[in-house]
Amino acid sequence: MNSGKKFKYLINITGGILESLEGLKSQSEHRIKSKIASTLRNFDFVEREEFNEMKALVVRTREEIEKLNKQIINLENKIKKK
């Protein structure tokens, strides 16, 4: 084999290796994405909107509890004064 043919042969082999690596990369990315999606489906996540609604509800409830506690303290003070 002369050097020109050897060079072409080497280029062809290198091209084939690169194509194989690209295919392997694509397959790997697909498998990883599928595995991540599958794993995430098993978690019990809530959407941001639902989280914000629950957070607002907790804040309102906490404020109401503080208000009721103040009322209780006021009533207890009135009872003590009698």
pLDDT digit string (tens) for 49-75?
A: 999 999 999 999 999 999 999 999 999
Work out the angle at residue 39's Cα, subtended by the Cα atoms of residues 42 and 20, and round it to the nearest 5 degrees: 155
Instruction: Give me the torsion for CA of 5, 10, 11, 17, rounded to 10°.
Output: 150
As separate numbers, helices (DSSP H) first and strands (DSSP E) second, the chain gives 2, 0
Note the pTM of the prediction, 2 decimals: 0.48
25-54: average pLDDT: 91
